[in-house]
Amino acid sequence: MDNLSHFQTPVQTQVPESSCKVTASSECANLPSCAGVPAPQVISQALCSAGTAASSPNTAVYFHTEESTLFFLADGLIAVVPPVFGAVWYFGTTALFTLFLAVLSCTFFDCLGIRLFRKQWKLDPYCFLSGILYGLLLWPGVGILAVLTGAFCAMILAKQIFGGYGKNWLNPALVGFGVVLILQGPAPMGQGLWLVSGNIQGLFLETSLFFSLLGAGYLWFRRMANVPFALSFSVILLALGHFGGVFTPHFLGRIFFFSWFLASDPVTTATTPLGNLIWGILCALLCGGFWLLGDLTGGMVFSFCFMSFCIRSLRRWDWPIALHLS
């Protein structure tokens, strides 16, 4: 009978709730992802199914969704098709070459950063979207060296040095564009408001407001657009420009692209509508000061990057999470 004791059903003991909390809060950050779902999210779902709950509020940047990150990437790539088509249609081979160089250089430096910091050769597909957005922010006449330098800073200094996509504090495309502005000087401004016809005097992204509206409409349809930020940022910034006497219609295309496309990145933005509303208001106030001084484009780049650095603190003010309003 003593030999049969090994086959007896073991007594089930309940794991203390405090130990589960410690495991979820301190060790899950280093666990690998599972089936496209971040490890902290997997652990939080397991704890919920077991009937346990963390005593402190969750401040992680992850949120529950039925779609994987590849769906977000696919939606982003589809949304930029109309602006890319407009840029190539109106700017011709100049835009095509610059966009190709931007995507190719971003892909190369992203793979190089993964090799340097993570000791492996791996292709992060998000570098394609960052490269396209970075290329759309450029304009004819940008030198090859400036494009390559901006791509290096975007992928290495703004992304891989922080641990890759999902851990970056700044939008890589904006960082690369800011470096190009430093090297090449102020970006040229378009002339007039171009709804359908091509504008070949500004940035590639503002060739036609019609194509930007198509891309933004797709983001809104797929619920990928950051609507609270886009509305608060655009309304307040345009009001500041109007009352400050610096507003002209040709600024609309650039403001629209920045507010709808570059603010749709879930990594460098807030996680609730209230947080994005606050983020948009602060960005608009900061950018409005630059606009009154004569540099709208530089002001948008600086305000977006500065507020992205402050986004971790801003997330702690997202009190609607507790009221289930997010």
CA–CA gap between residue 93 and residue 98 (Å, rounded)? 8
Which amino acid is it at 22? V
Q: Which residue has the tokens 């590639």?
A: 204
Count Cβ atoms within 10 A of the Cβ of residue 76 and give its class: 0-12 exposed, 13-18 middle, 19 or more buried: buried
- What secondary structure letter does DSSP report for 293? T
The CATH superfamily label for domain 69-321 reads Ammonium transporter AmtB like domains (1.10.3430.10)
CA–CA gap between residue 253 and residue 241 (Å, rounded)? 14
Ordered per-residue pLDDT tens for the chain, 326 residues? 444 444 444 444 444 444 443 333 333 444 344 444 443 333 333 333 333 333 334 444 444 455 556 778 889 999 999 999 988 988 889 999 999 999 999 999 999 999 988 877 778 888 999 999 999 999 988 999 999 999 999 999 999 888 888 788 889 999 999 999 999 988 887 665 555 565 567 788 877 788 889 999 999 999 888 999 999 999 999 999 999 888 877 788 889 889 999 888 877 787 778 888 988 999 999 999 999 888 889 999 999 988 887 876 555 555 444 433 44
Q: H-helix or E-strand containing 146? A: helix 144-152
Tally the residues of the chain.
326
Would you list the domain boundaries of the chain? 69-321
pTM of the predicted protein model: 0.74
CB half-sphere exposure, 235, CA atoms < 13 A: 9
CA dist list (Å): 181 to 96, 128, 299: 20, 21, 11
Q: Are 187 and 310 in contact (CB under 8 A)?
A: no
